[in-house]
Amino acid sequence: MTIRPILTVPNPILKQVSKPVEKVTDETRKLMDDMLETMYAAPGIGLAAIQIGVPLNVIVMDLARDGEQPQVKYFVNPEILEDVEELNPYEEGCLSVPDVFDTVERPERVKLTYLDYNGERVTEWCEGLYATCIQHEMDHLKGIVFIDYLSRLKRDRAVKKVVKAGKLKAAG
């Protein structure tokens, strides 16, 4: 498994709309393995393929807390079939916008369908952090980053912060 670099804003690749996977193959599984390793190394609780520059509808997630058994989930071609009106506010973060956190409101429950690691169809309702995280990751597949829901002022500040941090890191 390989840890791959995570793209950060304002990289235009993050705005790309990802494409469906035609068939879950060993190549797809290698991508998911690398994504999981990259997500754990960051560390994060979710990752979309476009965040490592691969424009495919693939997501990995592990919502287990420290000390809990891993709860790894793989999503290929996820689709939301239904949602509810109730909104759940959550202070989100994003590995593509490091050290920026802000509140986004999303439907509290969503009915999701996707293919798993073995290409098997799964359809289930998700709620709480699972619902928040899958909606955040599915936004990445549409080229949307959570700061796109904030005011222009907050978004611009967030991008400037990330760019400045990147320059400081590069200067050592």
Nearer to ligand K1U, 21 or 133 (CB): 133
Residue 21 · residue 66 · CB < 8 Å: no
For residue 126, how far is the Cα from the chain centroid? Answer: 16
Beta bridge mates, 79 = 113
How is residue 11 written in tokens?
């990289």
Q: Quick one: which of 86, 92, 78 has its CA closest to 108?
A: 86
Residue 60 · residue 1 · CB < 8 Å: no
Query: By beta-carbon distance, which residue lies closest to ligand K1U?
Result: 44
Sign, Cα dihedral of 100, 104, 108, 112:
negative
Q: What is the dihedral of CA 141, 117, 98, 51, to 10 degrees?
A: -40
User: Which among 86, 91, 124, 137 is annotated as catalytic?
Assistant: 137
What is the nearest approach in angstroms of Zn ion to the Cβ of residue 121? Answer: 25
Q: Which does 133 bind (CB under 5 to 8 A by kind): ligand K1U, Zn ion, none?
A: ligand K1U
Name the residues that contact ligand K1U, by CB under 6 A.
43-47, 90, 92-96, 132-133, 136-137
Q: Considering the rule CB under 5 A, would residue 39 count as an interface residue with Zn ion?
A: no
What is the nearest approach in angstroms of ligand K1U to the Cβ of residue 122? Answer: 20
Catalytic residue check, 137? yes
What is the nearest approach in angstroms of Zn ion to the Cβ of residue 136? Answer: 6
DSSP state of 117: T
How is residue 135 written in tokens?
């909606």
Q: Considering the rule CB under 5 A, would residue 52 count as an interface residue with Zn ion?
A: no
Q: Segment 80-139, which members bind Zn ion (CB under 5 A)?
A: 94
What is the nearest approach in angstroms of ligand K1U to the Cβ of residue 168? Answer: 20
Q: Which does 43 bind (CB under 5 to 8 A by kind): Zn ion, ligand K1U, none?
A: ligand K1U
Chain residues that interact with Zn ion, rule: CB under 5 A: 94
Catalytic amino acids?
A: 137
